[in-house]
Copies of this chain bind each other. A is one copy, B any other.
Amino acid sequence: MNGWHETEVRVRYAETDQMGIAHHSNYLIWFEAGRSDLCRARGFSYKEMEEKEDALMVVAESYVRYKSPAFYEDVLSIRTTISEVRSRSIRFSYEIHRRSDEALIAEGETLHLVTDKRQRVKTIPEAYKHLLSEDSSRAFPAEQGPS
């Protein structure tokens, strides 16, 4: 599949809970690590967009479907893709697999609105939109797509 980006995380001890599995709130943090990494790989600096364009990507919705627990020290592959770019919003989709057995750990989505520092929704700056849109994803294919 086109445009998937892959990031690795190792489950930290601090991320486990007394059930002996990674706590479900960490998945949103791992999704974010995948998202940051995808953006970086496309030459899109989130930090720069924040500082130079006064454009923040605020999370408007998150959805996670937990399929199988992840354990301490598991190496997880976070697969991220941009599923939709509109003038004021971006949707990312994710899949998390465990490296050792390729088990599907979770899948999910986040929807982001672009706002200024005062939380007013604004149009995505054109240069940044370009980097995130389909065409540029074809121009810079992810080296490590899941298949």
Q: Are A17 and B14 in contact (CB under 8 A)?
A: yes
Q: What residues of B have a CB within 8 angstroms of the CB of A59 in the complex?
A: 24, 66
Q: What residues of B have a CB within 8 angstroms of the CB of A88 in the complex?
A: none
Q: What residues of B have a CB within 8 angstroms of the CB of A25 in the complex?
A: 14, 25-26, 28-29, 32
Q: Once bound together, how far apart are the Cα atoms of A4 and B88, in whole Å?
A: 35
Q: Are B60 and A32 in contact (CB under 8 A)?
A: no
Q: Are B24 and A12 in contact (CB under 8 A)?
A: no
Q: Is A100 an interface residue (CB 8 A)?
A: no
Q: Is A69 an interface residue (CB 8 A)?
A: yes
Q: Once bound together, how far apart are the Cα atoms of A14 and B36, in whole Å?
A: 11
What's the dominant secondary structure at chain A's contact region?
mixed
The interface of chain A, by Cβ under 8 A from chain B, is: 10, 12-14, 16-21, 23-26, 28-29, 32-33, 36, 40, 46-47, 50, 56, 58-66, 68-69, 72-73, 117, 119
Give 28 CB contacts A-B under 8 Å: A12-B29, A12-B32, A13-B17, A14-B17, A14-B32, A16-B18, A17-B18, A18-B18, A18-B19, A18-B20, A19-B56, A19-B58, A20-B117, A24-B62, A28-B28, A36-B73, A47-B72, A47-B73, A58-B66, A59-B66, A60-B65, A60-B66, A61-B63, A61-B64, A62-B62, A62-B63, A62-B66, A68-B119
